[in-house]
């Protein structure tokens, strides 16, 4: 759980006759990470027809998925889907063709009818503005010897339109009076058409086009259009029902076809990436060592003549080409998602998931401590996780539940429930509820000091984990002189001792720093000594690794080295100070949480009326939603910028095994 799974490299020589059986064994159990044959230098050494087969399987799978979509069915495999062999394209394609043709016949009719409905509705929209005009449509259309403009114009622009038309002979009708947008009809000579059009455009006239296939008054035409629209909608509903009925009748067959074609496509894609010799295939990949024995047994059952060579890979040293498989747990999945946002662990590196599973809810709860609000968040998170509420946030459901549970625990320690604290609990809720530990609002400096102490402990753990990673990867130079190495850690201890000495007995003094300062050690001298190691860390790392000690030559190169070393020291001191003080936000948000609750009470008033309780409820909902989000962001910031950077580098290659599963099941 603390480190990625141990991996073994597997090399296979497969006889051509057993190719499909072995591919099935490799693809069916989700434990084999394939290495592309392009990296092996053996691709294309024999005739390869699998590229075309893989393309045909992929095309067939997309066609079946399209059928599912057209008939309104969710893409599903059979309830008891077994991993069979690859299907014959010539046997499956006619079945898909037949179902596709039947579905297309209905979808084509449906598409045509929808286009017709869209046209009818467009024509109705054009006629509705003049539906009450008692004029034949034929008269309103473009006359043969006159230029006609029919449209809607803003009422405020009528006078401007009339003025613009004074220069040419014309006839101006207002067919429908309207306070906002009257309908107007303009007639004039064709030789003056340009003037008429410019005048209409300047008045922002919106032209109306009248359908050629209709005659009579607009009122009669609109009535006819409405009847045809209703008839079209009924026809569309009937076709959609036929489509659903057709899909249900072929549901089982479609599911079976999709599964068979899917597994065939996955296996064909895998074979395309095999290295091909004349009569054999070469396959290289990675398998978790714990699954190696079972996979080997299955491979030998699939082929008696297969050659298998395995090599266990040590976690020590650098292994950038080794895929990283993390322990799978649905309870830790949201935490792994947060870690993955920062980076994927490398093979020999500590997986920070378990540490973050403890520290993330801990820091969140400390900042958002309230028993009632925390329980509400926990219940909401459980509902999200089970897709009962806000299904789109299911992936965050467990994380919200963990943070809510932690907030409830800290609320119990702080003596806060739905913002009620101290005498307010007895006055309004009529029961006694005292802080078990400390009240942030009444002990502000103590809470800030405790937050800094907690940050110091977490940062020290980060340094130790960083050194552990350096030992495992055998990076001795970084272990001794890196930014999270031994020299930097001892410099930080000396820095804390000086900080404890400076703050002394003040209320804000971190107790850890004061305790370190009380040790009988010459911290001033140690600070200078380890400060030199930190300042010239790059020089000492180059010495251990056997690299050039100082880049550049001459006096100029030496001065650049001194300036860069001094900047490294200053950056380290500022980083250590800012990292330590960043945790003060934990206490500050705990205090701010209580202050925001008091602000809600000041808005609610003192008398427990209906308005008082409505304000309290709305205020609590606001705090849970708004402050809950802000505290979540701050908790992520502390982990990404202050904690993980001390020991976690990421950059690992994700383990992506061959597996015969749908994308929905993988998600």
- Look at residue 447 in the predicted model and tell me its pLDDT: 94
- 160 and 134 co-located in one domain: yes
Give the pLDDT confidence score for residue 435 in this predicted structure: 93
The verdict on 260 and 207 lying in the same domain is no
The per-residue pLDDT for 223 is 87
Among 582, 603, 635, residue at a domain's last position: 582
Q: Is residue 117 part of a domain?
A: no
Q: Are residues 163 and 283 in the same domain?
A: no
The β-bridge partners of 281 are: 14, 276
**Residue 362 falls within a domain, yes or no?**
yes
| pLDDT, position 142 | 63
Q: What is the CATH number of the domain that holds 152?
A: 3.30.70.100
Please, is 539 exposed, middle or buried when counting C-beta atoms within 10 Å of its C-beta (0-12, 13-18, 19+)? middle
On the question of pLDDT at 580 being above 80, the answer is yes
Q: String of b and e for 146-156 (b: at least 16 CB within 10 Å)?
A: ebbbbbbbbee
Least confident segment among 337-341, 513-517, 546-550, 656-660: 546-550
**pLDDT tens per residue, range 289-308:** 999 999 999 999 999 999 99
Q: What is the pLDDT of residue 47?
A: 47
| Average pLDDT of the segment spanning 443-462 | 94
With 0-12 CB in 10 A as exposed, 13-18 as middle and 19+ as buried, what is 195?
middle
Give the domain range for residue 488.
445-582
Specify the number of domains making up the chain: 4
Beta strand residue intervals within 318-374, DSSP E: 323-324
Q: Share the mean pLDDT of the chain.
A: 88
Residue 662 — pLDDT band, cuts 50, 70, 90?
very low
Q: Which of these three, 536, 552, 582, is where a domain ends?
A: 582
The two tokens of residue 312 are: 């266990």
Q: What is the mean pLDDT of residues 399-427?
A: 94
pLDDT, one tens digit per residue, over 173-209 is: 887 787 888 888 888 888 888 989 899 999 998 887 7
Choose the weakest-confidence range: 92-106, 226-240, 440-454, 548-562.
Answer: 548-562
432 and 451, same domain (yes or no): no
Is there a single domain that holds both residue 190 and residue 279?
no
Q: Which residue has the higher pLDDT, 285 or 314?
A: 285
Lowest mean pLDDT among 39-53, 84-98, 99-113, 493-507: 39-53
Does residue 214 sit in the same domain as residue 251? no
207 vs 590, residue with greater confidence: 590
Is the pLDDT at 363 greater than 90, yes or no? yes
Same structural domain for residues 507 and 599?
no
pLDDT band for position 46 (cuts 50, 70, 90): very low
Ranges 164-173, 178-187, 520-529, most confident: 520-529
Closest CA to 416 of 584, 298, 592, 252: 592
Q: What pLDDT shows up at residue 184?
A: 86
Q: Is 622 within a domain?
A: yes
Determine whether 391 is exposed, middle or buried from the number of CB atoms within 10 Å of its CB (0-12, 13-18, 19+): exposed
Q: Is residue 211 part of a domain?
A: yes
- Judged against a pLDDT cut of 80, whether residue 42 lies above it is answered with no
Spatial separation of the C-alpha atoms in residues 187 and 147, rounded to whole Å: 6
Identify whether residues 560 and 591 lie together within a single domain: no
Q: What is the mean pLDDT of residues 18-31?
A: 90
- Distance in angstroms (rounded) separating the CA atoms of residues 481 and 486: 7
Most confident of 122-136, 156-170, 227-241: 227-241
Whether 269 and 302 map to the same domain: the answer is yes
Question: pLDDT per residue over 266-288, tens digit each?
Answer: 999 999 888 888 788 999 999 99
Both 393 and 506 in one domain: the answer is no
Out of 90-104, 169-183, 334-348, least confident range: 169-183
**CB neighbourhood size of 654 (10 A):** 12
């Amino acid at each position: 759980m603390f480190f990625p799974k141990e991996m073994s490299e597997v090399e296979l020589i497969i006889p051509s006759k057993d190719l499909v059986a072995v591919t099935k064994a490799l693809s069916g159990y989700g434990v084999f990470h394939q290495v592309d044959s392009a990296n092996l230098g053996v691709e294309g050494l024999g005739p390869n027809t699998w590229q075309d087969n893989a393309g045909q399987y992929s095309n067939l799978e997309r066609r079946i998925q399209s059928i599912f979509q057209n008939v309104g069915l969710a893409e599903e495999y059979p309830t008891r889907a077994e991993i069979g062999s690859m299907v014959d394209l010539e046997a499956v394609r006619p079945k898909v063709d037949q179902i596709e043709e039947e579905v297309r016949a209905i979808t084509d009719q449906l598409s045509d009818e929808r286009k017709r409905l869209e046209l009818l509705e467009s024509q109705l929209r054009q006629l509705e503005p003049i539906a009450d005009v008692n004029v034949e449509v034929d008269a309103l259309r473009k006359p043969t010897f006159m230029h006609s403009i029919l449209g809607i114009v803003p009422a405020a622009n009528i006078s401007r339109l009339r003025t613009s038309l004074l220069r040419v002979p014309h006839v101006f009708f207002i067919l429908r009076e309207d306070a906002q947008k009257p309908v107007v009809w303009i007639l004039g000579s064709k030789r003056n058409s340009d003037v008429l059009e410019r005048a209409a455009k300047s008045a922002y006239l919106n032209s109306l086009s009248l359908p050629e296939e209709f005659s009579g008054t607009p009122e009669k035409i609109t009535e006819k259009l409405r009847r045809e629209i209703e008839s079209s909608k009924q026809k569309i509903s009937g076709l959609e029902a036929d489509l659903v009925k057709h899909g249900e009748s072929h549901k089982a067959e479609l599911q079976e076809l999709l599964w068979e074609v899917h597994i065939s496509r996955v296996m064909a894609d895998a074979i395309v990436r095999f290295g091909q010799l004349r009569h054999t295939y070469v396959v290289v990949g990675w398998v978790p060592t714990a699954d190696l024995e079972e996979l080997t047994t299955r491979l030998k059952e699939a082929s008696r003549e297969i050659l298998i060579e395995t090599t266990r890979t040590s976690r020590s040293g650098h292994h950038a080409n080794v895929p990283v498989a993390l322990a799978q747990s649905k309870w830790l999945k949201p935490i792994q998602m947060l870690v993955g946002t920062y980076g994927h662990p490398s093979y020999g590196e500590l997986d920070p998931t378990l540490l973050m599973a403890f520290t993330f809810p801990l820091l969140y709860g400390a900042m958002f401590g309230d028993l009632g609000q925390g329980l509400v968040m926990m219940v909401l998170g459980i509902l999200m996780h089970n897709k009962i509420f806000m299904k789109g946030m299911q992936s965050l459901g467990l994380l919200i539940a963990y943070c809510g549970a932690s907030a409830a625990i800290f609320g119990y320690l702080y003596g806060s429930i739905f913002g009620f604290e101290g005498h307010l609990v007895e006055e309004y809720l009529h029961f006694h509820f005292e802080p078990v530990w400390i009240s942030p609002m009444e002990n502000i400096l103590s809470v800030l000091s405790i937050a800094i102490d907690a940050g110091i402990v977490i940062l020290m753990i980060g340094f130790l984990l960083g050194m552990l990673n350096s030992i495992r990867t055998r990076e001795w130079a970084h272990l001794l002189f890196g930014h999270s190495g031994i020299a930097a850690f001892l410099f930080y201890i000396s820095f804390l001792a000086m900080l404890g000495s400076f703050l002394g007995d003040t209320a804000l003094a971190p107790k850890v720093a004061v305790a370190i300062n009380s040790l009988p050690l010459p911290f001033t001298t140690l600070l200078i000594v380890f400060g030199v190691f930190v300042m010239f860390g790059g020089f000492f790392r180059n010495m251990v690794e056997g690299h050039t000690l100082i880049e550049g030559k001459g006096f100029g190169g030496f001065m650049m080295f001194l300036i860069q070393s001094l900047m490294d020291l200053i950056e380290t001191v500022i980083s250590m100070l800012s990292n330590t003080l960043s945790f003060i936000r934990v206490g500050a948000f705990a205090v701010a949480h209580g202050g925001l609750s008091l602000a809600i009470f000041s808005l609610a008033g003192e008398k427990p009326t209906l308005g008082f309780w409505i304000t309290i409820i709305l205020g609590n909902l606001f705090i849970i939603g708004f402050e809950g989000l802000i505290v979540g962001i701050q908790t992520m910031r502390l982990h990404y910028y202050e904690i993980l950077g001390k020991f976690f580098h990421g950059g690992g290659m994700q383990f992506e095994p061959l597996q015969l599963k749908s994308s929905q099941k993988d998600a």
